[in-house]
Amino acid sequence: MPARSAHPTDQRIADLKGREAAQRRLQRIAKLMDSQVRLPVLGVRIGADAIISPDGDRLDTARTSPAVAHATMAAEQVTRALVGRTVADVERDLILETLKHCLGNRTHAANILGISIRTLRNKLNEYADDGQPIPPPNSGEMRGVAAA
């Protein structure tokens, strides 16, 4: 004979008891830590001095590393460069720069961009028709530029 399953109400009561026990434990921990910061969901306070960063420094005394500061500054510069430009302009520059990075390899550029080769080809034809110089596939002359 199969084991009788617990009634759904019994399960809900057990869940509530488990949550209440967890909340009581967190409240005891918070009292021990002489907390400063309030966690709104649980109503518990935890101080910044109790939080340790991955490198072992306390959160209230941890300093940003030069690499993090440099990455933050670079991200802000990129963001500022994008503000005020149309999506079509940003897309065109991204496609052309990726194609240059791939030394004209359309398949590799399409894979990096996450688009099909056909879409990339159609975009490049559109840009060439507008007079935009297109990097050649592996070698050859730039398309889209009037011959001198």
pTM, full prediction: 0.48
- Distances in Å between the Cα of 104 and the Cα atoms of 11, 75, 114, 120, 134 are 62, 27, 16, 12, 9
Residue 43: which region, alpha, beta or left (left: phi > 0; alpha: psi -120 to 50)? Answer: left
Which residue has better confidence, 2 or 95?
95
Are 61 and 48 a contacting pair, CB within 8 Å? no
**CATH number of the domain enclosing 130:** 1.10.10.60
- In this prediction, residue 126 carries a pLDDT of 95
Residue 33's domain spans which residues?
Answer: 9-50
- In this prediction, residue 80 carries a pLDDT of 83
Q: Is position 110 within any domain? A: yes
| Residue-wise pLDDT tens digits, 40-67 | 555 555 665 666 666 666 655 556 677 7
State both tokens at 65: 């590393």
Overall residue count recorded for the chain in this entry? 148
Domain tally for the chain? 2
Verify that 84 and 140 share a domain, yes or no.
yes
Percent of the chain clearing pLDDT 70 (strictly above): 56
Verify that 37 and 88 share a domain, yes or no.
no
- Distances in Å between the Cα of 41 and the Cα atoms of 19, 26, 45, 50 are 12, 12, 11, 19
